[in-house]
């Protein structure tokens, strides 16, 4: 099983989404990262017994054959791939009465979290589609003085990673000197808790190359004490892009944190897009021989292997976009898809919607 790059996977998903079963006979199997493939195999063997109850002879035959094909594949598999496994199998013939039983095996680009067996008229591709959207992640932390929950936002998926408790008592005892001593103890426990949170954040996020930013939520002044108290390493503290006033320090708090920071999160993508387009327009204006923006010129530069970065507007023809991306892949050029939701993106689309920054001049 070869790992597919993002473009190859996107192209395969386009093909898979084009297949429509006549009945519920297209099978999707998702085996999560770390899950035993033998256990998945046994589950599918049990599904064969269920398939025997299908009334339609043709559907029963197609489902049974697809299941048997998947089971044979799993039996030959030594172990589940590192990121998990997705299998698609079914009769994809578009001609009535003809058989074309195909199986596709895919190792996801990111660790697969869900386990699935689905027999339907369509293959289930959405989990892989969402992974293709993830080229950056955001760290999440919701906290108060008693509890903290650390999570991660990957695309649209929120993952809870770590829950922590401080042991700080919630009620302060009354009475003179003992009350003051009790306050000092609780303050000491709180600071120790902040340090433990920071250590966990460092373990989880410090070396993650995809980390784009960190969101922190909690009541006033707890979250501010934590951030401004410099408990986090400088590298992570500089990545804190939002702090939100929240009353939850659990998994529900992670969801509220993401909801409260939607404007900040969307602006991150806009900022990235603006910087890319600003660079393109600057090169085009200051050194036009090192940029191209008309389709024939961009295509020529791709064919010469001269493209460093290919820019394509989301609004251009999909088939043209796919063709140019393939040419970029052939010469190991980077590419970016830009929206029309910013003034720069709209300007780029009005220019041609196709552009390139070059490695060398071809004029």
Measure the CA–CA gap between 118 and 111, rounded to whole angstroms: 20
Structural domain boundaries of the chain? 6-132, 137-260, 268-358
CATH number of 268-358: 3.30.1330.30
Count of helix runs (H) and strand runs (E) in the chain:
12, 13
Q: What is the pTM of this model?
A: 0.58
**Phi, psi values for residue 292, rounded to 5°:** -140, 150
Q: At what angle do helices 37-51 and 57-75 cross, to 10 degrees?
A: 160
Work out the average pLDDT over 348-363.
Answer: 94
Domains 137-260 and 268-358 share a fold: no
Q: Which of 9-18, 32-41, 168-177, 220-229 has the lowest mean pLDDT?
A: 168-177
pLDDT at 111: 87
CATH number of 137-260, picked from 3.30.460.10, 3.30.420.60, 3.30.230.10, 3.40.50.10440: 3.30.420.60
- Averaged pLDDT, 50-71: 92
Per the prediction, the chain carries an average pLDDT of 90
Take residue 234 and report the two structure tokens written for it.
Answer: 């400088």
CATH topology of domain 6-132: 3.30.960
């Amino acid at each position: 099983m070869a790992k597919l790059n993002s473009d190859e996977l996107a192209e395969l998903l386009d093909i898979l989404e084009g297949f429509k079963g006549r009945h519920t006979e297209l099978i999707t199997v998702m085996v999560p990262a770390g899950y035993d493939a033998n256990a998945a195999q046994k589950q599918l063997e049990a599904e064969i017994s269920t398939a025997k109850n299908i009334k339609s002879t043709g559907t029963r035959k197609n489902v049974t054959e697809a299941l048997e094909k998947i089971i044979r594949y799993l039996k030959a598999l030594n172990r589940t791939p590192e990121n998990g496994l997705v299998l698609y199998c079914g009769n994809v013939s578009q001609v009535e009465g003809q058989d074309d039983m195909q199986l596709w095996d895919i190792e996801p680009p990111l660790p697969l979290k869900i386990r699935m067996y689905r027999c339907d008229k369509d293959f289930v591709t959405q989990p892989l589609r969402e992974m293709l959207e993830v080229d950056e992640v955001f760290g999440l932390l919701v906290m108060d003085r008693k509890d903290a929950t650390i999570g991660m936002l990957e695309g649209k998926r929120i993952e809870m990673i770590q829950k922590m408790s401080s042991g700080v008592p919630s009620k302060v005892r009354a009475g003179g000197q003992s009350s003051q001593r009790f306050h000092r103890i609780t303050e000491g426990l709180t600071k120790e808790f902040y340090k433990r949170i920071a250590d966990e954040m460092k373990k989880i996020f410090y070396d993650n190359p995809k980390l784009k930013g960190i969101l922190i939520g909690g009541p006033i002044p707890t979250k501010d004490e934590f951030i401004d108290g410099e408990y986090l390493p400088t590298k992570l503290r500089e990545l804190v892009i939002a702090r939100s006033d929240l009353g939850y320090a659990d998994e529900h708090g992670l969801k509220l944190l993401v909801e409260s920071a939607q404007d900040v999160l969307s602006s991150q993508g806009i900022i990235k897009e603006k910087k890319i387009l600003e660079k393109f327009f600057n090169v085009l204006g200051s050194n036009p021989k090192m940029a191209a923006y008309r389709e024939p010129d961009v295509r020529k530069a791709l064919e010469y292997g001269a493209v460093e970065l290919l820019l394509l507007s989301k609004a251009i023809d999909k088939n043209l976009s796919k063709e140019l991306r393939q040419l970029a892949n052939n010469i190991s050029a980077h590419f970016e898809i830009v929206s029309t939701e910013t003034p720069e993106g709209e300007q780029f689309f009005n220019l041609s919607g196709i552009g390139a920054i070059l490695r060398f001049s071809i004029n």
